[in-house]
Amino acid sequence: MIISVASGKGGTGKTLVTTNLAASVGEVELLDCDVEEPNSYLFFPDRDGETSFDCKVMIPKIDQDKCTRCGRCSEFCAYNALAVFPQDLLLFKELCHGCGGCAMVCPEGAISEGTRPIGKIFRARSGEVALLWGELSVGEPMATPLIRSVKAEARGDLVLIDSPPGTACPVIEAVRGSDFCLLVTEPTPFGLYDLSIAVQVVREMEIPCGVVVNRSGIGDRGVYDYCDREKIPILLEIPMERKIAELYSRGLLFSREMTEWQERFAGLLVRIEEVIG
Ligand code: SF4
Ligand code: SF4
């Protein structure tokens, strides 16, 4: 079973929910797909056996001697990653999406397959939690190939995905293929606005969803009324409590310090299983 945890915006408590859920449900694989700033693993300081490897994407390798500057590859490339000059064919690596189409249309066989690293993938283990996370190289503009590669490494029977914030391509890549998407929000007008967009996205992807309300007790009833209207189950509420915020800010799992929460997070998994059916 693959459960992704997403939110319409950053700072709503997505990582708080994912890490505490992972720490409360026994054997699980936790994927941090927020590859621009992965931090789930930091909540498991006792992790060991850490290994890493480069994540590489395909880029065209151009043989300038064979190239006749006919321009077919550049016309084909939808991302404007190739530019033909009288003496040269230039590749803008950061724009290339690695589709391989330019090599297919080249009549001279001047383009072959090369690779370049865009980041790293890490593995480690902390007790029953297998950790897997991606780290995008600084300045690298495309997160989605790395997210795809992190997901391809998942092996567990129960996989939790900490998604990037927002509702753009990286989130869609992270959430794609999930059996369930847990949407974390806060009960404020901002939270409601972002939640409603995230709901539209997961519904478009035909992924069942439920809501965790973080910092409950603040704000207004808008999120609750919306979920009621849209028939979206609210599966857990985490109150606005100073102790929870303090533990989180110190990089500690509050469910390990406030042990009654282990049962609540384990119950959250049971409720998700009930919703999926
Ligand atoms: S299609 Fe091939 S021959 Fe034509 S410009 Fe591109 S690399 Fe050169
Ligand atoms: S591999 Fe695809 S995206 Fe990259 S340069 Fe070739 S056609 Fe453009």
23 in any annotated domain: yes
Do 29 and 88 fall within a single domain? no
In a shared domain, residues 211 and 266: yes
In a domain, 51, yes or no: no
Closest ligand to 82 CA? 2
Domain at 39, CATH number: 3.40.50.300
Q: Closest ligand 1 atom, CA of 70?
A: 4
pLDDT in tens, the chain (277 residues): 999 999 877 788 999 999 999 999 999 999 999 999 999 999 999 999 999 999 999 999 999 999 999 999 999 999 999 999 999 999 999 899 889 999 999 999 999 999 999 999 999 999 999 999 999 999 888 899 999 999 999 999 999 999 998 888 999 999 999 999 999 999 999 999 999 999 999 999 999 999 999 999 998 999 999 999 999 999 999 999 999 999 999 999 999 999 999 999 999 999 999 998 8
Question: What spacing in Å lies between the alpha carbon of 89 and ligand 1's midpoint?
Answer: 8
Rounded to an integer, what distance in angstroms lies between the CA atom of residue 113 and that of residue 172? 27
- Last residue of a domain, which of 117, 145, 163? 117
Which residue minimizes the CA distance to atom 4 of ligand 2? 96
Q: Tell me which residue of 270, 194, 203 sits closest to 230, measured CA to CA.
A: 203
Q: Is residue 149 part of a domain?
A: yes
Q: Which residues line ligand 1 (CB under 6 A)?
A: 62, 67-73, 84, 89, 106, 108, 110-111
| Integer Cα distance of 176 and 13 in angstroms | 21
Cα–ligand 2 centroid distance for 112 (angstroms): 11
Residues 88 and 131 in one domain: no
CA distances from 204 to 79, 169, 176, 198, 199 (A): 26, 14, 11, 10, 8
**Are 70 and 99 within one domain?**
yes
Within a domain: residue 153?
A: yes
138 and 105 in a common domain:
no
112 & 231 share domain: no
